[in-house]
Amino acid sequence: MTSDNIFSGLKVVDLASFIAGPGAAVILSDFGADVIKVEPPNGDTWRIGYKIPPQPRAKDNYSWHLNNRNKRGLALDLKSPEASGVLRRLVEWADVLIVNTPHPAREKLKLGYDNVAPWNPRLIYADVTGYGDNGPDAQLPGFDITAYWARSGLLSLTRDAGAPPTLPVTGSGDHATAVSLYSAIVTALYRRERTGKGSFVTTSLLAAGVWAAAVSAQAALCDATFYPLHDRANPPNATFNVYRAAGDTWFVIVLTPDKWPALANGINRPDLLTDGRFADPAKQATNSAQLTAILDQTFAAQPMAHWREVFEKAHLTFGVVLAPGEVIKDPQLRANDIVVPLDGAGENLKFTISSPLKVHDVAKVPAGRAPELGEHNEEILKQLGFNTNEIDSLRTSGAVPKARGRAA
C-alpha cells in the first residue's frame, strides 16, 4: 500500500455526541482527515458509555476510543457568549462540520446551517438526527434502539415466534448510520470539487434503519403477504434455518434449491432425496417441521468441526454463530485489517475495529487513542489564530475550560 491518505489536508470539526456522528468522523480520520472533537465542559456523555449496564465492563474506555480515535480534543462551552468567536473560527477553518444537537437547542446556540453557512460558503454541514428534519416527530430525541431498530420495523422482525422484542447490540444502528452520514459527506465533497459550493447534508437513524429493513418495507409498500414470525422448529424453509451441532454450537445454513442434493448427500442421508415429503421446494415447505426435526437430530450428532468440513467440501453456504470473544479470534479479521493495532489507549486496549471501507493501494492512518477532554485546547486555539492573552481570556470566562489529561 502507498502512504498517501485520501483525506490528507481535509479539516473536520466533530461537534456530535454519542456514536453516529463521531463514527462518521472516525471514518474520515481513518483516511487522513484532521478531526477536532469539540466537547462541552463536562465532556461527551459517551465518555461514560462503557459504564452503563448492560455494556461489557472493562478497565479501559474501549467505546470512547473506538468512536473517537485519531482526533484532537477541544473543550468548549457553546452556551458561553465568548464561545461564539471560537465557533466562528472553527467553521471558517473547517471543510466539514458534523452536528447532532437537537434542533431546539441548536437554535438557541445559533448552531444551525443558516447560522454558520455564511461564515464559510464551502462548508459541508453534516447533520444526523433521530427521525429526520421534517414531520411531527422531527424534534424527538432518538437512540439507535428507538429510531433505527424499533421505529424502522427491524426490532419487530428480528425475533422468533412467541418471543418478545429484545435489545439489539449497542451501537449497531449508530455505526450503520455513521456510514450513511460519511457517504453523504463524501458525496457533498465531490459536488464541491465540481461546483466549489458547500452543502447541507443529513441522514437519520430512522432513514438508515428503514434502509436496512428495506426488503420488508418495500414488500409492505406493495401489500405483500408476510410469513409469520420465524419459528425455528417449523420454518417456511428448513434449509434456511438455524441448527445446533454437538457441543452446543449454533450455526445457520442458507441453501438455494439446487443445493439440496449436496446437503442430503453431505449429511449421509441420500434417502431424503427419494422421500416424497421433500421431493421439491414446495413439498419441503409443506413438511418443513418434519425436515427440521430430521436435520436437528442429524446435526446434533456431530461437532461443528465435522459439519464445517462437510459444508465446505460440498460448497454449502453456512455461518457459525460466534460470541464476541470468538469473533475477535477469527483469522479473517486480522487478514483483512478489520482488527488493527491501537496505540496508547490503555493497558488492555491494544487493538480496535477499523472502519469497514477499504481502498486498495491506500493505507489508512494508524489508529491512535482518542483525546482526553480538552487535551489540545491551546494547540487548536493557536492554530485558529488566538494569541496567548485571548486564550487566557477564554479560559477566565469559562468558554474554554481547563484541559484534563495528558496535554494542555
Q: Give the residue ranges of the chain where pLDDT is below 50.
A: 1, 407-408
What would the pLDDT profile of 230-273 be if each residue is shown by its tens digit? 999 999 999 999 999 999 999 999 999 999 999 999 999 999 99
d(CA 237, CA 354): 36
The pair phi, psi for residue 214, each rounded to 5°, is -65, -30
Q: Is the Cβ–Cβ distance between 19 and 175 less than 8 Å? A: yes
How far apart, in whole angstroms, are the C-alpha atoms of residue 270 and residue 279? 12
What are the percentages of helix, strand and coil residues in the chain, rounded to 5?
Answer: 40, 15, 40
Q: Say how far apart CA 115 and CA 107 lie, in whole Å.
A: 9
Domains of the chain: 11-214+328-397 (3.40.50.10540), 240-322 (3.30.1540.10)
Question: Considering Cα of 355, then 357, then 363, then 365, what sign does the dihedral take?
Answer: negative
Spatial contact of 251 and 243, defined as CB atoms under 8 Å apart = yes
Cα 344 to Cα 303, 371, 392: the distances in Å are 41, 10, 30
Rounded to whole angstroms, the Cα distance separating 87 from 117 reads 12
Interval 52-61: pLDDT, tens:
999 999 999 9
| pLDDT of res. 384 | 98
